[in-house]
Chains A and B, each alone.
Chain A
Amino acid sequence: MDWLSRNLPYLMAGISVGGQYALIAIGYTMVYGILRLINFAHGDIFMCAGLIMVYAATVFPVYISIPLVIVVTVLIGFAVERVAYKPLRTAPRMSVMISAIGVSYLLQNLALYITGGLAQQYPALPWISDVITVLGVTTKRVTVITPPLVILLVIVLVFLIHKTKVGMAMRAASKDFETSQLMGIKINSVISLTFIIGSFLAAVGSFLYFSNYTGVTPTAGAMPGLKAFVAAVFGGIGSIPGAVIGAFIIGISENIIKGLGWTTFSDAFTFALLIVVLIFKPTGLFGEAATDKV
């Protein structure tokens, strides 16, 4: 019991942050699956969701500001795709990726301008921000509800992708972009929908993440974004369950490293893990073996 209460906090923190990474990672993995684009701006969209909540909560009560944040975040995600990625559909992949970096730069600087560079305190959300005690460990309720919520969302998403028509279109687009277009799939709507789902999950992730880690800064999305991307690659990019499992693994191992006293390398470890995976299993844990088209 003593051992448990000493070590459970690391595990709980790991699972909780892993779940939050997972919600961001899904956005990366879905966009990459279809567009073969590392959407560098995704982490910043996540940060925007946090900031919007900070400002919305000063004006509206929680039951209005939460849906409002979701709607605005989805709109931002949608707009980013339409403005910055769609015109580059025929351009080489590097151009689109650079455009993504540009959007990320713009969003961060806009946030810097609006907040004046000061860390904003995230409002305490009722119920999920409450402090509770689990097995002798004191923590916020959000730590405990994150994993089941993530799993529920993933099940819904997998159902959407495998059982609905629009999901079929998504799968087709990620298998073969051009052919699916020839088959009459409205590729632009499919892509927009992907971004909408990704941004929606990022918004949900932001509620959970910032309830735990309450300082919202213009760069607050950069590191979680990068780690979520690593998680997506780790699990096999394009695969949603893979991204989720990858995210949990990264969240947990990152906290174990800290628990072992190797705090200097907690971030470096994540990247080392990524590189090892890329070298020995380039398609990730659950990725399909890609065939090079000549």
Chain B
Amino acid sequence: MSKKLVSVLLAASMALTIGAAPVLADTVKIGVYEPASGDNGAGGKQETLGMMYANQSCPTVEIGGTTYDVELDIVDNESSNDKGPSAASKLVGDGVSVVLGSYGSGVSIAASDIFKDGGVPAIGVTCTNPQVTQGNTHYFRICFLDPFQGSVLANFANETFGAKKAYVLAKLGDDYSQGLAFYFTKAFEALGGEVVKADFPEGNSDFTSYITDAKNNGCDVFFTPTSTEAAANTIEQAAAQGLEIPLLAGDTWDSNVILNAAKGKNVQIYVTTFYQEGGDEAFDTGVKEFINSDSTNLANNGGDDTVAAVTAMGYDAYFTALEALKAAGTTDPAAVNEALWSVELDGVSGHIAFDQENGDAIRDSAFVKVANTETGAWDFVSVQTVAE
């Protein structure tokens, strides 16, 4: 019986190996290293949608006088540091010229060395942790960083709400959540505020006690930089318990999951983000059309056509990669890496250029949006800038 099993498995694996498709000539591959499952699956999919739309609207690129077809090579890193490396290896093995991704800093760091050893440059799209690009020359990023985002939020809380005391709730074991909470706390305390810090464990969906805690401590704002899964529960329970103070969060909350959860409820939700819908009309209409054209796309965007900031960032990342390919004049990853340092373009999310130290985007402003609980859309609040 066991022999049968072995032979079946062997036959299956052989069939699969033969099935691998040959590489076409005059095609340049761009790797997409994004989560499609796990904690960050929702955000990863929206980011990938931006790249797919960009690829659809601009499927070719001229490199060194030849026109290449651009092919996106999409892998799922499962939001997991132990599954990420093999996904990254697949991209390197497939011979991609440059990699885009990931949503979530942890998986980006986990794959960083694989890309480095493979000699492939990577462009971080919305991984905001400073450690992604720190001390290396192959990882770039087009979004702002957590220290910046944390201080934007702290200043916003202080200026807009006159907040003196903040409740900070972060997810245990999540570097994004804890990191942003750390920078927020630092900036908020520097402004003379006081912070009550709490953690919730993985798989927790009961946030009632945290909300009670915030009330009992007399906090003025509730800062909770978490994934959208936890967010939906937090909002629901905050509304049910009549939490009157505003909820504040970072870029992950800029998602229609939040809007759906908040619609028709008595909550105030403010987020900082990279892009505000309406920032670029042509992009908005185009991407909405793209999302509505296909039921899978629609499902991946969470069931409606709200444009998430990460989608805009995914779109910009794709064009950043194309610029680098053009500037390099070849599809050789090493040359693309070299060219990336001096790439500049005006994306839908703003001007993109890299600093010459870590390859981080030079960005000094973030959008602050508020969830409109009646229309179920984001309303623009302000553009926040902070002098570091």
A-side interface residues toward B, CB under 8 Å?
6, 9-10, 13, 17, 112, 116-119, 121, 131, 137-140, 212-215, 217, 219-220, 222-224, 254-255, 258-259, 261, 263-264, 266-268
**Interface CB pairs A-B, < 8 A, 16:** A9-B211, A9-B215, A13-B208, A116-B300, A139-B208, A212-B208, A212-B240, A213-B207, A213-B236, A217-B229, A220-B205, A224-B205, A255-B208, A258-B209, A259-B209, A263-B199
Of chain B, the residue at the smallest CB distance from A214 is B236
Given A119-B42, A264-B172, 6 other A-B contacts at CB below 8 A? A116-B299, A118-B299, A213-B237, A214-B232, A214-B236, A220-B205
Of chain A, the residue at the smallest CB distance from B302 is A118
* Of A139, A213, A214, A258, the contact of B210 (CB 8 Å cutoff): A258
Of chain B, the residue at the smallest CB distance from A257 is B209
Q: Report yes or no: A263 in contact with B241, Cβ–Cβ below 8 A.
A: no
A3 CB to closest chain B CB (Å) equals 10
A136 CB to closest chain B CB (Å) equals 11
Q: Report yes or no: B232 in contact with A119, Cβ–Cβ below 8 A.
A: yes
Q: Interface extent on B, as a size class?
A: 35 or more
* Of B200, B213, B228, the contact of A119 (CB 8 Å cutoff): B228
* Of B41, B210, B236, B237, the contact of A118 (CB 8 Å cutoff): B41
Q: Report yes or no: A9 in contact with B37, Cβ–Cβ below 8 A.
A: no
- Cβ of B162 within 8 Å of any chain A Cβ, yes or no, is no
Taking CB atoms, residues of chain A closer than 8 Å to B239 are: 131
Q: B residues 2-56 with Cβ under 8 Å of A?
A: 36-38, 41-42, 45
Taking CB atoms, residues of chain A closer than 8 Å to B198 are: 258, 261, 263
- Cβ of B203 within 8 Å of any chain A Cβ, yes or no, is yes
User: Which of A17, A112, A116, A220 has the most chain B CB within a 10 Å cutoff?
Assistant: A116
Proximity bits, B70-92, A CB within 8 Å = 1, else 0: 00000000000000000000000
Complex: A255 Cα to B237 Cα, angstroms: 15
Q: Which 4 pairs, one residue from A and one from B, show the smallest C-beta to C-beta distance? A: A117-B41, A223-B203, A138-B242, A258-B209
Q: B residues 193-238 with Cβ under 8 Å of A?
A: 198-213, 215-216, 228-230, 232-233, 236-237
Complex: A68 Cα to B110 Cα, angstroms: 44
Q: Report yes or no: A215 in contact with B41, Cβ–Cβ below 8 A.
A: no
Complex: A212 Cα to B232 Cα, angstroms: 11
Q: Report yes or no: B209 in contact with A9, Cβ–Cβ below 8 A.
A: yes
Complex: A131 Cα to B240 Cα, angstroms: 6
- Cβ of B334 within 8 Å of any chain A Cβ, yes or no, is no
Taking CB atoms, residues of chain B closer than 8 Å to A220 are: 205
Complex: A18 Cα to B273 Cα, angstroms: 38
Taking CB atoms, residues of chain A closer than 8 Å to B211 are: 9
Chain B interface, >50% SS class: helix
Q: Report yes or no: A9 in contact with B257, Cβ–Cβ below 8 A.
A: no
Q: Report yes or no: A117 in contact with B208, Cβ–Cβ below 8 A.
A: no
Q: Report yes or no: B260 in contact with A121, Cβ–Cβ below 8 A.
A: yes
Complex: A6 Cα to B212 Cα, angstroms: 8
- Cβ of B261 within 8 Å of any chain A Cβ, yes or no, is yes
Complex: A224 Cα to B228 Cα, angstroms: 19
Q: B residues 255-276 with Cβ under 8 Å of A?
A: 257, 260-261
Q: B residues 304-352 with Cβ under 8 Å of A?
A: none
Q: Report yes or no: A140 in contact with B212, Cβ–Cβ below 8 A.
A: no
Proximity bits, B119-145, A CB within 8 Å = 1, else 0: 000000000000000000000000000
Complex: A264 Cα to B230 Cα, angstroms: 16
User: Which of B208, B213, B215, B261 has the most chain A CB within a 10 Å cutoff?
Assistant: B208
Q: Report yes or no: B233 in contact with A213, Cβ–Cβ below 8 A.
A: yes
Complex: A28 Cα to B250 Cα, angstroms: 40
Complex: A220 Cα to B202 Cα, angstroms: 11
A264 CB to closest chain B CB (Å) equals 5
Q: Report yes or no: A121 in contact with B261, Cβ–Cβ below 8 A.
A: yes
Taking CB atoms, residues of chain B closer than 8 Å to A112 are: 37
Taking CB atoms, residues of chain A closer than 8 Å to B228 are: 119
* Of A13, A121, A267, the contact of B201 (CB 8 Å cutoff): A267
Complex: A10 Cα to B212 Cα, angstroms: 7
B200 CB to closest chain A CB (Å) equals 6
Taking CB atoms, residues of chain B closer than 8 Å to A266 are: 200-201, 204
Of chain B, the residue at the smallest CB distance from A132 is B240
User: Which of B209, B228, B232, B260 has the most chain A CB within a 10 Å cutoff?
Assistant: B209
Q: Report yes or no: B208 in contact with A9, Cβ–Cβ below 8 A.
A: yes
Taking CB atoms, residues of chain A closer than 8 Å to B300 are: 116, 118
B157 CB to closest chain A CB (Å) equals 21
Q: Report yes or no: B233 in contact with A219, Cβ–Cβ below 8 A.
A: no
Taking CB atoms, residues of chain A closer than 8 Å to B240 are: 131, 138-140, 212
Taking CB atoms, residues of chain A closer than 8 Å to B216 are: 6
Taking CB atoms, residues of chain B closer than 8 Å to A261 are: 198, 213
A134 CB to closest chain B CB (Å) equals 11
A153 CB to closest chain B CB (Å) equals 21
Q: Report yes or no: A138 in contact with B241, Cβ–Cβ below 8 A.
A: yes
Complex: A224 Cα to B36 Cα, angstroms: 24
